[in-house]
Amino acid sequence: MSSDFLILSLAPLLVAIISSMSCALLGNFLVLRRQSLIGDAISHVALPGIVASFLITGTLAASAMMIGAGVAAIVTLVLIEAIKRLGRVESSAAMGVAFTAIFALGVLMLEMSDASGVHIDVQHALYGNLESLIWFEGLDWTALFDPAALAELPPQLPRVAWVGLLVAIFVVVAWRPLVIGSFDPAFAASVRAHPLLTDVTLVIMVAITAIAAFEAVGSILVIAMFICPAASARLMTDRLLPQIAWSQVFAFASAVLGYVLAGYGPGWFGHDVSLSAAGMIASVSGIILLFACLFGPRRHGAMARMAAD
Amino acid sequence: MKPFNASQHAADSSPLAITGLTISYGQKPVVFSVDCHVPAGSLTAIVGPNGAGKSTLLKAALGIAPRLSGDIRVYGQPYRSQAHRLAYVPQRSSVDWDFPTTVLEVVLMGLFHTMRWWQLTRRHHRNKAMECLTRVGMDAFAERQIGQLSGGQQQRVFLARALAQEADLTILDEPFAGVDAATEKAIIEVLKSLKREGKTLLCVHHDLSTVREYFDHVLLLNIRRIAMGPVDDVFTAENLQQTYGGRLNTIQLERIATPDSSTSQV
Amino acid sequence: MIDSFWQALTFTAGYNTTLVTLGSAMLGASAGMIGSFIVLRKRSLVSDAVSHATLPGLVLAFIILALLTGDGRWLPGLLIGAAASAAIGLWGVQAISSRTRLGEDAAIGAVLSTLFGLGVVLITVVQALNVKGQSGIDSYLVGATAGMLASEAQLIGISALVVLIVVFMFRRQFLLVCFDRQYAYTRGINADHIDMMMLLLLLTVTVIGLKVTGLILIVALTIIPPVTGRFWTDRPSRLIAIAALCGALSGYIGAAASSSASGLPTGPLIVLTAFLLFSIGLLFSPRRGMVAMLLAQHRFRRRVHLRQGLLSLARDEAIYDDLTLKVLRRHGYIRRDGVATPPGRVAARDAEHEEHLWSLYRQLYPDEAAQLDHQGLDPIEESLPPDMVSSLENRLPSPARSAR
């Protein structure tokens, strides 16, 4: 039993927890800045980026894929800005134009090339494939202390761990500019807290996190990880640090609960199958948000609460 | 048309010297070729009708709004190098008051330039912020969530944040818009005490009836500069007529522009 | 390949292909039309939430159909399921953004990702059930018209036509609500009902588009054509017409192209056609196109600098701005060393004279002056009637230079 867990579940569970928590950390700022849909746009274009990098390099090496997805994210952001500024199109419409067009290009390239025969296909890109992260060397608990066995861990795990660390460092270092820029951009500019630079860096961090998480959980579910825990946390408290703490708790809970429900849930009802873990994690985070919307102590804005008193 | 040469050399020391500033959105200038030298130690109002480019002028001075042409100097230097000497109080309506933060934390934002990223907020930072809150009469609200404040209280918190910056030049965008009478009085007291300390204040103002009472200098603006100078010289019926066009009737003008009718009891 | 593309375009590639091409064109037209109102309401991405939210209902309907009949691939049933869960998603977005402190952006993101996640979970249930036709579900992700039944194409085409007619009938009410809800109320129009109706039509288009463009790309058909229309006109009625036309063209060309070779996905081709039309508008529209705007901006900037430079010359002020100096030199108004040339002095005097005229005009006729758009950058003879100019000239105190 324990070796089953180590081989099959340890790596996916950790990947899910870490990516979920790092997405949620950044998600707090996206939700506060009312920019949640940037996450939506970026995660949609990861697929075209990966397809393009495969067509150019001919390999599915992780580094090439990450760079491809990163380039696609940057191209999309530039395109959105260009459409917004030069075409004077309102921002959500500009986003809708840009990311759907690039996604369409990705699907077209994928279907017309041989890439669909290889590892990537549309479904994987959308749903992710947590279950494939198997640790063959995890035969028993001593393997956790065996460097040789640890080296055989699926490479996705160290990757999301590094990205998680990077995200945490970013939030700590950029804390004051992030908060000031989210609250009052004009003031931030006047004290030279570099709101524009902070903005761009935040979006780049979102892209990096989305791409790292993408491979494991799929692009659409990345959006759930960015938004749901942070949105739920927003309904729990009126202070920023507690909000971030709540978002981390919710992210952790949805990852663990979602993974366990998907992997073992059907078994409890006597069915010997497992369900999509990524999908279940998104569903659980949505259920948490539903409860927060219904019962969260701070679900109404401060103004609405005053009016109700 | 405008006394250029007289103010040319004053530009070197002026807290804020704007020359030939033009800003346009698309093909329509919102500020055209404006010159404005704010005298040191003055309490200056920018007055003009809606859409006259008052807020835009301030934003351009701070480098927030892009300008088409013109030069802006803060204490004779480009803005970037002098940002620490300047405090900005944006319009209250420009931020989301539902943001998860407390009154004290907002005021602490004013200490941004004194704190490096690795420094934690220490007791002396908090004490400093509390002092500023006390000065605007908001010390009892320090731990409140900002969404629970009234409009006037929000404005006072913004002013406290500017106080924390200990700036030589403070720029305020409509600080009296939508606030209660008590707050208006409290704010003007603070502004006047800052002036007594030798600080310079520049303020977009919309209530013509209080200009004489509150300010010593005034810039009349309607896309172009109509006039600028000491209130007594410049705040005349003729200039106001030119600034506001037909939007003010003669009786209003007489009442506002004559020094005696609205004399201050202060 | 070119041949078969041409055949599809000219409706000579067989009955089914013709039906599919026509159906897609109809779908594009109705999506563009209803999308115009959604974009005008600045709620473009609501349709993103709606389209992703169709997945769980679609898969659930598939499971129920499969358990009842053994084969889940019955289009009307699937679409009813999709519509039901899309309605739940729509309600979710509305409820979250109106009843909690969260913004619409967070509501859209949360709803679309969670319901899509639920759909993915249900897809793995389908895989576990091991029933017939389960690979059919994938075609709803990115769309596939290859092998579409004639009856399915007819259903899509006819539903799209119905939506088109309904939108056309209610276009005035829709516009009024998009433009000014309060005013709509005073005219006896229940804005909430109209809003709801617009969203239901959007939902219908989304659902019938699933099979053609797939659920991820249908949102593009409701956003790109209206935004394209905006480049070409400022009038809402024309905007809707252009959006419908762009949508129809995209559907028509995209579907025809995808039928020209096997393995070409329909959805992406339709969306890329729409994006191509969009790009043409973005670049070359004479009113709001990039090229036109950049040129106008460039010219305007130079005009402002020229005028400011001439005024400074007239007042003997030093000029520091590089662009101003460059523009003046280019016109031959100053020498290399910055000293005004004779024509420069003349032009400067004219500019100042004109400035005085304008300022007198503003003083005498403040309201009329406020109406003028150009704020006194144009030559006064071109902007005001001649008798006005000469009366201003007469009233100008002389010498004009001393005016203050």
pLDDT tens digits, residue range A2-45?
Answer: 567 777 788 889 999 999 999 999 999 999 998 888 888 888 88
Pair C90, C213 in one domain: yes
pLDDT in the model for residue C373? 58
pLDDT in the model for residue B4? 40
pLDDT tens digits, residue range C374-399?
Answer: 556 777 777 778 888 888 888 877 65
ipTM of predicted assembly, 2 dp: 0.90
**Does residue C366 carry a pLDDT above 90?**
no
Distance of residue B104 Cα from the nearest chain A Cα, in angstroms: 12
pLDDT in the model for residue A3? 63
CB proximity A92 to B under 8 Å: no
pLDDT in the model for residue C253? 92
- Choose the closest CB to A293 out of C100, C141, C269: C100
> DSSP characters for C161-189?
HHHHHHHHHTHHHHHHHHH-HHHHHHTT-
CB proximity A184 to B under 8 Å: yes
pLDDT in the model for residue A149? 77
Mean pLDDT per block of 10 residues along chain B (266 residues) reads 42 80 81 89 91 88 84 86 88 88 93 81 90 92 90 93 93 90 91 93 90 92 88 87 73 67 42
A301 and B98: CB-CB below 8 Å? yes
pLDDT in the model for residue C73? 77
CA–CA gap between residue A195 and residue C57 (Å, rounded): 42
C193 in a structural domain: yes
pLDDT tens digits, residue range C155-181?
Answer: 888 888 999 899 989 988 898 888 888
Pair C242, C308 in one domain: no
Q: Per mean pLDDT, which range of A71-80, C90-99, C291-300 is the poorest?
A: C291-300
pLDDT in the model for residue B261? 46
C279 in a structural domain: no
Q: Which residue on chain A is closest to B83 by alpha carbon?
A: A191
C43 in a structural domain: yes
pLDDT in the model for residue B208? 87
Per the CB < 8 A criterion, the answer to whether B95 and B130 are in contact is no
pLDDT in the model for residue A147? 79
Per the CB < 8 A criterion, the answer to whether C63 and C244 are in contact is no
Contacts of A among chains (3+ CB pairs under 8 A): B, C
Chain C hits for A228, CB-CB cut-off 8 Å, are: 110, 113-114
Burial class of residue A172 (count of CB atoms within 10 Å of its CB; 0-12, 13-18, 19+): exposed
- Give the predicted TM-score (pTM) of the model: 0.87
Q: Which residue on chain A is closest to C92 by alpha carbon?
A: A290
C311 in a structural domain: yes
**Domain of residue A83, residue span:** 2-137+152-215
State percent of chain A over pLDDT 90.
Answer: 39
3-state secondary structure of C130: coil
- Choose the closest CB to A192 out of B83, B90, B98: B83
Neighbours of A269 (CB within 10 A): 6
Distance of residue B13 Cα from the nearest chain C Cα, in angstroms: 19
**Does residue A117 carry a pLDDT above 70?**
no
Buried b (16+ CB within 10 A) or exposed e, C15-29: ebbbbbbbbbbbbbb
Using alpha carbons, list the distances in angstroms from residue B13 to B8, B17, B74, B260.
11, 9, 8, 34
C63 in a structural domain: yes
pLDDT band at C338 (very low <50, low <70, confident <90, very high): confident
Distance of residue B105 Cα from the nearest chain A Cα, in angstroms: 10
For residue A29, the domain's CATH number is: 1.10.3470.10
The phi and psi torsions of C352 (rounded to 5 degrees) equal -70, -40
Q: Which residue on chain A is closest to B146 by alpha carbon?
A: A302
C308 and B20: CB-CB below 8 Å? yes
Of B180, B129, B124, B123, give the one whose Cα is nearest residue B150.
Answer: B180
A303 and B62: CB-CB below 8 Å? no
pLDDT in the model for residue C401? 43
pLDDT in the model for residue A174? 92
Enumerate chain B positions whose Cβ falls within 8 A of a Cβ in C: 1-4, 20, 22, 24, 26-29, 32-33, 68-71, 98, 223-224, 241-242, 244-247
CA–CA gap between residue A192 and residue B73 (Å, rounded): 16
**Does residue C134 carry a pLDDT above 90?**
no
Question: Domain B11-247, what fold?
Answer: Rossmann fold (3.40.50)
- Choose the closest CB to C308 out of B22, B27, B241: B22
Higher pLDDT among residues B129 and A50, named by residue: B129
Chain C hits for B247, CB-CB cut-off 8 Å, are: 366
C272 and A101: CB-CB below 8 Å? yes
The residues spanned by each domain of chain B are: 11-247
pLDDT tens digits, residue range A209-227?
Answer: 988 887 777 877 889 999 9
Q: Which residue on chain B is closest to C369 by alpha carbon?
A: B245
Per the DSSP assignment, residues forming a β-bridge with B71 are B19
pLDDT in the model for residue C362? 75
Arithmetic mean of pLDDT, C219-229: 94
pLDDT in the model for residue A196? 87
C286 in a structural domain: no
The phi and psi torsions of B21 (rounded to 5 degrees) equal -80, 120
Arithmetic mean of pLDDT, A80-101: 89
Pair C320, C192 in one domain: no
Per the CB < 8 A criterion, the answer to whether C220 and C39 are in contact is no
**Domain of residue C363, residue span:** 291-403
Enumerate chain B positions whose Cβ falls within 8 A of a Cβ in A: 59, 62-64, 80, 83, 86-88, 90, 94-102, 105-106, 109-110, 112-113, 115, 117, 145-148, 161, 165, 171
Pair C246, C311 in one domain: no
Arithmetic mean of pLDDT, C110-120: 93
pLDDT tens digits, residue range C184-200?
Answer: 888 888 888 888 899 99
Per the CB < 8 A criterion, the answer to whether A157 and A142 are in contact is no
CA–CA gap between residue B84 and residue C27 (Å, rounded): 58
Pair C175, C101 in one domain: yes
CB proximity A301 to B under 8 Å: yes
C283 in a structural domain: no
C276 in a structural domain: no
Mean pLDDT of chain C: 85
CB proximity C336 to B under 8 Å: no
- Output the CA torsion sign for C185, C190, C195, C198: negative
Arithmetic mean of pLDDT, A230-251: 95
Of C20, C51, C75, C29, give the one whose Cα is nearest residue C258.
Answer: C20
Reported residue count of chain A is 309
Q: Are strands B224-230 and B217-222 parallel, antiparallel or unpaired?
A: antiparallel
Arithmetic mean of pLDDT, C307-335: 84
pLDDT in the model for residue A225? 93
Reported residue count of chain C is 404
Distance of residue A7 Cα from the nearest chain B Cα, in angstroms: 41
Chain A hits for C294, CB-CB cut-off 8 Å, are: 86
CB proximity A32 to B under 8 Å: yes
pLDDT in the model for residue A98? 93
Per the CB < 8 A criterion, the answer to whether A281 and A259 are in contact is yes
A275 in a structural domain: no
Pair C296, C187 in one domain: no
Beta strands in B142-223 (DSSP E): 169-173, 200-204, 217-222
Count of structural domains within chain C: 2
The phi and psi torsions of B122 (rounded to 5 degrees) equal -100, 175
Chain C hits for A87, CB-CB cut-off 8 Å, are: 227, 231, 282, 288, 290
CA–CA gap between residue C101 and residue A297 (Å, rounded): 12
For residue C252, the domain's CATH number is: 1.10.3470.10
Count of structural domains within chain A: 1
Distance of residue C311 Cα from the nearest chain A Cα, in angstroms: 32
**Does residue C289 carry a pLDDT above 60?**
yes
Q: Are strands B43-47 and B69-74 parallel, antiparallel or unpaired?
A: unpaired
Pair C195, C57 in one domain: yes
